[in-house]
Structure 1
Amino acid sequence: MGWSCRKDKMVLRSCWKSRHKNSSGPAPCWTRPRLAALLWLCVTQFVCGSGAEGETNNVIQKDAEFDVTYNDTVTSENQTIYAFNHTVSRNKTEGVRVFVDVLSQGFESPILFVVRQKQAVVSFQVPLILRGLYQRKYPYSHVGRTLCQPPTRAASETQYFFVDVSTLSSLGTNYQLRVSRVESFTLQTDKKFSFTASPSQPQYFKYVFPDGVDTVIVKVNSEMTFPCSVMSIQDIQCPVYDLDNNVAFIGMYQTMTKKGAITVQRKDFPSNSFYVVVVVKTEDEACGGPLRFYPLRPDELIDAGNRSKFIDVIVTPAINSEVYVMGMLFCLGIFLSFYLLTLLMTCLENNSEAITDSATSTDNNYGYVGMNKHGQIFLLAYHCHFAQSLDSVGRSRQESLSSVEEDDYDTLDDITSDKNIVRTKKFLCVSDLSRKDKRILSKKYQIYFWNIATIAVFYALPVVQLVITYQTVVNVTGNQDICFYNFLCAHPLGALSAFNNILSNLGYVLLGLLFLLIVLKRDIVHNRALVRNDLNALECGIPKHFGLYYAMGTALMMEGLLSACYHVCPNYTNFQFDTSFMYMIAGLCMLKLYQKRHPDINASAYTAYACLAGVIFFSVLGVVFGKGNTVFWIIFSVIHILSTMLLSTQLYYMGRWRLDAGILRRIVYVIYTDCIRQCSGPMYIDRMVLLVMGNIVNWSLAAYGLIERPNDFASYLLAIAICNLLLYFAFYIIMKLRSGERIQCLALVCILFTAVVWGFALYFFFQGLSTWQKTPAESREHNRDCILLSFFDDHDIWHFLSSIAMFGSFLVLLTMDDDLDTVQRDKILAF
């Protein structure tokens, strides 16, 4: 029936008076839904205050029913109120959805729909105008909204809600209204539920934690890549933020194309329940889709087309505390077993040395022949001193080097001209390149360790602070697009979102520490041999300098720490944390290989770390500016090629050349004399083969980078370092075998074991469970479930295997020349 504003005032006045006169309780009219509707109308719509005294505005109230379609017309002269009531049970939750269709095409004066509930008010206009990038406008004439469900303490109660329909248009606008119950409003554990959503028809459902379950994973899947959508987890409250422009206001949320997953913990939701909200975005740019055209006019409305998306949602229980304990014990067990194996081998070695020392021996000019306790005669060891001249024993040595620096004076017995003669011989031996005092060289190489320890401290502290800030931002804002996890296997612990990815880096730290202990043992044994003037230690084998080994072990430990920091919140802005010490490790390994045969002319720590700092600098520039930047790639390729050529010259001439103003004149002279005047081959064939192959590889990598311009510049730079390391290692092994040297059993086992482990490690690395080179939604398409103990994923296994492989690689470098420990240095070729 129709109501005027004057009559509304009279009804309200009479009810108010009767309410005060009746002290025992409120008047009957005061509790009617009709009176509440009139009160809302007069207060919020300002009908009584804005119109003239004789002006009337018709208000029509209808008792409405569920699942009935109402076809009506609304103008500025009338307003319709639909009154609904339904029974709410404490033990059963039902959703209520309101569907609205506007049949007219006029967008100038939309229809306003206001839904008033017990504890919330939801309002929206139809056509619904949603904005995209650059404020582009998309109108939707069909709108569907789910009403939030206020909790009830009673076993059962009747609740009322009203749908007010109004407009400012003087012309009649036709619309359809339908209110329906959502029977399957509560999600069930391990039961898939399917539905359809669109930008104007978002969906959300309720989930209640069952008894005994503290953590669940909400998984959302779709066969359709686009349209882009957003999944949100929100607490049970009104209103529910279920539109593209407000879904990020509260709770946790993430964009998705085909896959989405969020781990939800009971402790974050006091009501032991939450809403799963799915919103389809108006545009696809957030998910890596094509950029829509820019409107010609600022107020132009763009047809959004059909953006409906069929989606499946399933809620599964996450792992319990027992799985966490098993995962941690498994991780510790793997790496502590290496400590146990090392301890066992050390005990066997010490036992063998004890037997040797207790056996009676006869000294002769060729070795020691001993007899053990069973009377068996055996050859104990050969020493190289029989080939040494007595003059070498009396070589003068400095007693104190506390104030001596290598650069203060030349420590060779001969002057600089003799260096040029020695180092340009056709066949060089290790004795030719290990003429400097070993204690000065040891001090020089110890600087590698102290420098990298200093770098580690100053590098790691800001990194730790930054990733803590990242994790805090994720926890506070709920934005799951900041970090690129494997969300299907990301197990939280405390404030950490993916504890398993952090735990799996423990191997780098433990095995790096174990390698330091192994090197320390060798260092102590070698120093004891020097103290007792053991001629094997003084004059035989590859010169023992352990500073680079200490630096390698420290770099491996720091790689574990920084990789763990990176995996606190992996993204493109902090990926260099994960790769910086990988460059360090590759560079240190190449330096160690070169130092074995060239200890006198190896790079100093300052030069080496300065070059590595330049590599890291370009890594940061490549991540920030390298994507699609032609100028950057041209500059980097030129620097890469020039650096390769300069290093090749340095290696070929053993450092006996100068980079000055006359370098071009000397190059032209060499070309003229060696290539034009007389065609002569290179003097150092082996070195030339290595350098030619190295230049081919590096020039090819530079050309690939310039042509393809890979998005992951940090990995591309790491690939350059690894390729050069593998090339030089292969050259070293080949030349070692060509020189008649052999590889002992322990080193051969380490090589084979390391090669196999590297193969498996690279397989898991290339599984690619996430990638920050794409959008967060596209990255989640690669997410997969855990494959080991329901706790570790493919990338965790990569961490396990790569740490073992790096440890094995270090052992190869440490033991590969053990066969030369009794060979005179003037019999060991330098290559």
Structure 2
Amino acid sequence: MLLRSCWKSRHKNSPGPAPCCWIRPGLAALLWLCVTQLACGTGAVGETKNVVQKDAEFDVTYNDTVTSENQTIYAFNHTVSRNKTEGVHVSVDVLSQGLESPILFVVRQKQAVLSFQVPLILRGLYQRKYPYNHVGRTLCQPPTRAASETQYFFVDVSTLSSQGTNYQLRVSRVESFTLQTDKKFTFTASPSQPQYFKYVFPDGVDTVIVKVNSDMNFPCSVMSIQDIQCPVYDLDNNVAFIGMYQTMTKKGAITVQRKDFPSNSFYVVVVVKTEDEACGGPLRFYPLRPDELIDAGNRTKILDVMVSPAIDSKVYVMGMLFCLGIFFSFYLLTFLVACMENKRMKKRREVFQIPADMSPAETGNPATSSDADNGSTLSSEAITDSATSTDNNYGYMERSLDSVGRSRQESLSSVEEDDYDTLDDINSDKNIVRTKKFLCVSDLARKDKRVLSKKYQIYFWNIATIAVFYALPVIQLVITYQTVVNVTGNQDICYYNFLCAHPLGALSAFNNILSNLGYVMLGLLFLLIVLKRDIVHNRALVRNDLNALECGIPKHFGLFYAMGTALMMEGLLSACYHVCPNYTNFQFDTSFMYMIAGLCMLKLYQKRHPDINASAYTAYACLAAVIFFSVLGVVFGKGNTVFWIVFSVIHILATLLLSTQLYYMGRWRFGKITSTLNTDLSLLVFQDRMVLLVMGNIVNWSLAAYGLIERPNDFASYLLAIAICNLLLYFAFYIIMKLRSGERIQCLALVCILFTAVVWGFALYFFFQGLSTWQKTPAESREHNRDCILLSFFDDHDIWHFLSSIAMFGSFLVLLTMDDDLDTVQRDKIYVF
């Protein structure tokens, strides 16, 4: 019916050639002309319009006027070569202001039709309208099979305005339309004048990285990689329809693989956005009227583009071998140290003699055999200190040590320690022992070790259960993230270092995932070291080795197993986070860091307080609360005053509560010291503990004040900083008190401490390089991107992964070996601090 209507209108008003259409042979041409008449005519189908066709030439500016009664068609032809691609650029200026109706430009090519109006109306946030009177568009270049071919295209100009509108039209060739490898090309773009260029993969190159740079932060831009096809989506409102794209301010980079483009070529499209909010720029004012047009101002941006070959398969292999080699070397070094240690232990057992300072219990005196069995003998000095620091009404001096002890045979039970206290002391005896001015490990290692071992093994089984239930949904989620990125092409979803993001298969940044292998391998190695020590200790107990029974820090390995498992899970979850690092999944990377910091502090405390350390359920409940606040801080913490006030108050109250618990060894109830503590037990009795707690309160109150005043955007890192500061403070206090108590640090532990401190220093240097940040927009994050610095495969953050995993492993070894010097010292001569 449309064809019939157009045909009737053609013959109704004129017996000659149709005045309303320019006729080309063929049915398709007739259909196009009729549609043009319906869309651009001044009224009904039957109205007449003067159509003028002009043979036009390239690089000539045509000044003309268009009204609703006339239509101008410019006919161009050019020769297309199969071996050389030249772009064609159409530039239009409308010289009249306050147009009643826009001018419509329609470019008809062999395989595509491009249409746009001038003024070009582009929409921004909240549908704000920005008019552009100067428009420039590049025509897509359909491929040709012939060696040389002449192609025609036509530019139709029409309007519905009854008033004459002046315009300028210029069509020119783009000589540098095809990009060359490793050659920088500079160009200018604006919202109404987008630019795109063609790149063809050279032989032997399967992957390239496209880099677009600018010295100007704003206006905000979009960089897109699209397949060779028509039309090319090169406007702000359609550039995200196809291919891969990312916003940018100064830097943009996309890695492109040949396998994704069957034609072995692609377009690099650069579009300047109408507004800057997507790149973190200011929000412009809201228009007073819905139809109000906003002056966009000068939004021209100068950019340069360069395409470089990416790394080949050899670099991937070298990177993987380097990563495996580093961490397998630790296995080899551990094996050599273990061999040397075994030889030393054999020699030691051969020349073993009973120490001269053995107590009667350790020499087999039957008068105190029950105390020897229990491992809780108290030195005369400790008894004297206790008697002078407590009320005489308790009659501690008259109390027989036999009433405090309990044989191992009687303490074997399957009942959990939390359900049944294995000490037969009444509460007053606990108060007497735990509130002595000078405590020894024997005072706080009175419960049966096998019951305590079961208690501390719960740490391992609980964290293993948590790991399974935490990791599975995380893995599923990040796979979904990666799939969305690959399907939509939206590279603003993930905050990679795009200048050093090497894809492998479906993964966009394989190098960031591979570098987390160290956490897993070193965590497994630590578990093997702990297992070896556990086996050696159990064998010593079986053969009734007196040193294992009565000397040294009590050996409980449950927390060590939990620490090794947490390190492995940190590697797994960090790898999951780096599959697609962004604002919504950052807690995956930090959750087990909180776990590691908490477990290390618990282990430090357990060394001298094995009887009164927190249970696994209490500890993990507290860590769950920390992770809960971490999630709340990420979601609601940014600029939320109420949240920061509540968190700071909770932080300070928790610090005071924990300080009181540590100071009185748990012998208090709701802020009131139990009745066993008299007025002589003032806050100055336990001076060493008081120094630690005062320093801890100063640090934590300062951190709380900093958070309340500054309100850092990265709440998860702020919370992690609190945990690390407390761990370092307690560790420093432990080392100082150990040396102050006359103890020494053996060579192996000293080497571990020095090595770990140096590695931590280098690790933190690379951590603070900040190659990306999800606290800002994706475009602002890309400003921090930098090239690879190690083997052309690893960046600064990968090196942080390497060094931090080694430093954590070293820190665990320090905790494991730092008290080895006490293995032959009686527990009633080891001070508690």
**TM-score > 0.5, shorter chain as reference:** yes
CA distance in 1: counterparts of 2:710 and 2:394, whole angstroms: 62
TM-score, normalised via structure 2 length:
0.88
Question: Do the aligned residues in 1 keep the contact of 2:42 with 2:69 (CA within 8 Å)?
Answer: no
Pair 352,292 (structure 1): closer, same or farther in 2 beyond 3 Å = farther
Tell me the alpha carbon deviations over residues 111-144 of structure 1, each in whole angstroms, 9 at most, x when there is no partner: 0000010011000000000010111111000000
Question: Do the aligned residues in 2 keep the contact of 1:41 with 1:47 (CA within 8 Å)?
Answer: no
Q: Say which SS state the counterpart of residue 762 (structure 1) adopts.
A: helix
Pair 777,438 (structure 1): closer, same or farther in 2 beyond 3 Å = same
- Per the TM alignment, residue 359 of structure 1 is displaced from its structure 2 partner at its CA by 47
Pair 412,47 (structure 1): closer, same or farther in 2 beyond 3 Å = closer
Tell me the alpha carbon deviations over residues 307-355 of structure 1, each in whole angstroms, 9 at most, x when there is no partner: 0000010000000000000000000000000000111111222x99999
Pair 738,74 (structure 1): closer, same or farther in 2 beyond 3 Å = same
Question: Do the aligned residues in 1 keep the contact of 2:457 with 2:557 (CA within 8 Å)?
Answer: yes
Question: Do the aligned residues in 1 keep the contact of 2:66 with 2:166 (CA within 8 Å)?
Answer: yes
Tell me the alpha carbon deviations over residues 44-101 of structure 1, each in whole angstroms, 9 at most, x when there is no partner: 3238998679842100111111011000000000000111111111110000000000
Give the corresponding residue for 1:159: 151
Pair 363,133 (structure 1): closer, same or farther in 2 beyond 3 Å = closer
Match for 2:603 among 589, 592, 595? 592
Question: Do the aligned residues in 1 keep the contact of 2:668 with 2:674 (CA within 8 Å)?
Answer: no
- Structure 1 vs Structure 2: percent identity of aligned residues? 93
CA distance in 2: counterparts of 1:415 and 1:362, whole angstroms: 16
Question: Do the aligned residues in 2 keep the contact of 1:428 with 1:830 (CA within 8 Å)?
Answer: yes
Pair 671,88 (structure 1): closer, same or farther in 2 beyond 3 Å = farther
- Per the TM alignment, residue 666 of structure 1 is displaced from its structure 2 partner at its CA by 3.8
Question: Do the aligned residues in 1 keep the contact of 2:41 with 2:49 (CA within 8 Å)?
Answer: no
Pair 290,408 (structure 1): closer, same or farther in 2 beyond 3 Å = closer
Pair 625,715 (structure 1): closer, same or farther in 2 beyond 3 Å = same
Pair 206,540 (structure 1): closer, same or farther in 2 beyond 3 Å = same
CA distance in 1: counterparts of 2:422 and 2:664, whole angstroms: 21
Give the corresponding residue for 1:824: 826
Question: Do the aligned residues in 2 keep the contact of 1:226 with 1:284 (CA within 8 Å)?
Answer: yes
CA distance in 1: counterparts of 2:471 and 2:407, whole angstroms: 44
Question: Do the aligned residues in 1 keep the contact of 2:440 with 2:830 (CA within 8 Å)?
Answer: yes
Pair 18,727 (structure 1): closer, same or farther in 2 beyond 3 Å = closer
- Per the TM alignment, residue 364 of structure 1 is displaced from its structure 2 partner at its CA by 42
Pair 367,156 (structure 1): closer, same or farther in 2 beyond 3 Å = farther
Pair 161,506 (structure 1): closer, same or farther in 2 beyond 3 Å = same
CA distance in 2: counterparts of 1:367 and 1:666, whole angstroms: 24
- Per the TM alignment, residue 362 of structure 1 is displaced from its structure 2 partner at its CA by 46
Give the corresponding residue for 1:146: 138
Matched, 1:477 2:478: no
Question: Do the aligned residues in 2 keep the contact of 1:519 with 1:549 (CA within 8 Å)?
Answer: yes
Pair 469,401 (structure 1): closer, same or farther in 2 beyond 3 Å = farther
Pair 100,418 (structure 1): closer, same or farther in 2 beyond 3 Å = same
Give the corresponding residue for 1:631: 642
Q: Say which SS state the counterpart of residue 675 (structure 2) adopts.
A: helix
Which ranges in structure 1 are unaligned for 5 or more consecutive residues?
1-9, 369-387, 659-663, 675-682
Matched, 1:78 2:70: yes
Question: Do the aligned residues in 2 keep the contact of 1:75 with 1:173 (CA within 8 Å)?
Answer: yes
Q: Say which SS state the counterpart of residue 556 (structure 2) adopts.
A: coil
- Per the TM alignment, residue 356 of structure 1 is displaced from its structure 2 partner at its CA by 41
Tell me the alpha carbon deviations over residues 607-643 of structure 1, each in whole angstroms, 9 at most, x when there is no partner: 0000000000000000000000000000000000000
Question: Do the aligned residues in 1 keep the contact of 2:40 with 2:159 (CA within 8 Å)?
Answer: no
Tell me the alpha carbon deviations over residues 650-694 of structure 1, each in whole angstroms, 9 at most, x when there is no partner: 000000001xxxxx88479999968xxxxxxxx100000000000
Question: Do the aligned residues in 2 keep the contact of 1:58 with 1:78 (CA within 8 Å)?
Answer: yes
Q: Which moved more, 1:717-726 or 1:12-21?
A: 12-21
CA distance in 2: counterparts of 1:530 and 1:357, whole angstroms: 32
Q: Say which SS state the counterpart of residue 281 (structure 2) adopts.
A: coil
- Per the TM alignment, residue 583 of structure 1 is displaced from its structure 2 partner at its CA by 0.2
CA distance in 2: counterparts of 1:481 and 1:446, whole angstroms: 44
Tell me the alpha carbon deviations over residues 452-501 of structure 1, each in whole angstroms, 9 at most, x when there is no partner: 00000000000000000000000000000000000000000000000000
Pair 67,448 (structure 1): closer, same or farther in 2 beyond 3 Å = same
Pair 412,398 (structure 1): closer, same or farther in 2 beyond 3 Å = same
Give the corresponding residue for 2:204: 212
- Per the TM alignment, residue 417 of structure 1 is displaced from its structure 2 partner at its CA by 1.6
Pair 722,54 (structure 1): closer, same or farther in 2 beyond 3 Å = closer
Pair 233,53 (structure 1): closer, same or farther in 2 beyond 3 Å = closer
- Per the TM alignment, residue 41 of structure 1 is displaced from its structure 2 partner at its CA by 2.3
Give the corresponding residue for 2:789: 787
Question: Do the aligned residues in 1 keep the contact of 2:22 with 2:33 (CA within 8 Å)?
Answer: no
Pair 59,264 (structure 1): closer, same or farther in 2 beyond 3 Å = same
Pair 809,392 (structure 1): closer, same or farther in 2 beyond 3 Å = farther
CA distance in 2: counterparts of 1:56 and 1:545, whole angstroms: 98
Pair 512,52 (structure 1): closer, same or farther in 2 beyond 3 Å = closer
Question: Do the aligned residues in 2 keep the contact of 1:15 with 1:30 (CA within 8 Å)?
Answer: no
Q: Say which SS state the counterpart of residue 332 (structure 1) adopts.
A: helix
Q: Say which SS state the counterpart of residue 408 (structure 2) adopts.
A: coil
Question: Do the aligned residues in 2 keep the contact of 1:576 with 1:619 (CA within 8 Å)?
Answer: yes
CA distance in 2: counterparts of 1:358 and 1:134, whole angstroms: 75
- Per the TM alignment, residue 810 of structure 1 is displaced from its structure 2 partner at its CA by 0.2
Which ranges in structure 2 are unaligned for 5 or more consecutive residues?
342-378
Q: Which moved more, 1:730-739 or 1:401-410?
A: 401-410
Question: Do the aligned residues in 1 keep the contact of 2:187 with 2:302 (CA within 8 Å)?
Answer: yes
Q: Which moved more, 1:48-57 or 1:493-502?
A: 48-57
Match for 1:512 among 504, 523, 531? 523
CA distance in 1: counterparts of 2:442 and 2:386, whole angstroms: 34
- Per the TM alignment, residue 397 of structure 1 is displaced from its structure 2 partner at its CA by 1.6
- Per the TM alignment, residue 572 of structure 1 is displaced from its structure 2 partner at its CA by 1.1
CA distance in 1: counterparts of 2:26 and 2:382, whole angstroms: 102
CA distance in 1: counterparts of 2:32 and 2:776, whole angstroms: 50
Give the corresponding residue for 2:384: 356
Matches within 5 A, 1:301-380: 301-349=293-341
- Per the TM alignment, residue 436 of structure 1 is displaced from its structure 2 partner at its CA by 0.2
Pair 200,95 (structure 1): closer, same or farther in 2 beyond 3 Å = same
- Per the TM alignment, residue 24 of structure 1 is displaced from its structure 2 partner at its CA by 29
Pair 439,471 (structure 1): closer, same or farther in 2 beyond 3 Å = same
Question: Do the aligned residues in 2 keep the contact of 1:753 with 1:808 (CA within 8 Å)?
Answer: yes
Tell me the alpha carbon deviations over residues 797-819 of structure 1, each in whole angstroms, 9 at most, x when there is no partner: 00000000000000000000000
CA distance in 1: counterparts of 2:181 and 2:386, whole angstroms: 71
Superposition RMSD in Å: 7.3
- Per the TM alignment, residue 502 of structure 1 is displaced from its structure 2 partner at its CA by 0.1
Question: Do the aligned residues in 2 keep the contact of 1:256 with 1:287 (CA within 8 Å)?
Answer: yes
Q: Say which SS state the counterpart of residue 660 (structure 2) adopts.
A: helix
Tell me the alpha carbon deviations over residues 502-526 of structure 1, each in whole angstroms, 9 at most, x when there is no partner: 0000000000000000000000000
Match for 2:590 among 576, 579, 583? 579
Tell me the alpha carbon deviations over residues 211-239 of structure 1, each in whole angstroms, 9 at most, x when there is no partner: 00000000000000000000000000000
Matched, 1:684 2:689: no
Pair 53,407 (structure 1): closer, same or farther in 2 beyond 3 Å = closer
Pair 441,669 (structure 1): closer, same or farther in 2 beyond 3 Å = closer
Pair 17,601 (structure 1): closer, same or farther in 2 beyond 3 Å = closer
- Per the TM alignment, residue 43 of structure 1 is displaced from its structure 2 partner at its CA by 3.5
Question: Do the aligned residues in 2 keep the contact of 1:19 with 1:30 (CA within 8 Å)?
Answer: no
Query: Aligned pair count?
Result: 789
Pair 194,533 (structure 1): closer, same or farther in 2 beyond 3 Å = same
Question: Do the aligned residues in 2 keep the contact of 1:47 with 1:57 (CA within 8 Å)?
Answer: no
TM-score, normalised via structure 1 length:
0.88
Pair 127,539 (structure 1): closer, same or farther in 2 beyond 3 Å = same
Question: Do the aligned residues in 2 keep the contact of 1:15 with 1:27 (CA within 8 Å)?
Answer: no
Tell me the alpha carbon deviations over residues 162-195 of structure 1, each in whole angstroms, 9 at most, x when there is no partner: 0000000000000000000001100000000000
- Per the TM alignment, residue 414 of structure 1 is displaced from its structure 2 partner at its CA by 2.8
- Per the TM alignment, residue 781 of structure 1 is displaced from its structure 2 partner at its CA by 0.2
Question: Do the aligned residues in 2 keep the contact of 1:128 with 1:143 (CA within 8 Å)?
Answer: yes
- Per the TM alignment, residue 412 of structure 1 is displaced from its structure 2 partner at its CA by 1.9
- Per the TM alignment, residue 403 of structure 1 is displaced from its structure 2 partner at its CA by 2.1
Give the corresponding residue for 2:366: none
Q: Say which SS state the counterpart of residue 545 (structure 1) adopts.
A: coil
Q: Say which SS state the counterpart of residue 10 (structure 2) adopts.
A: helix
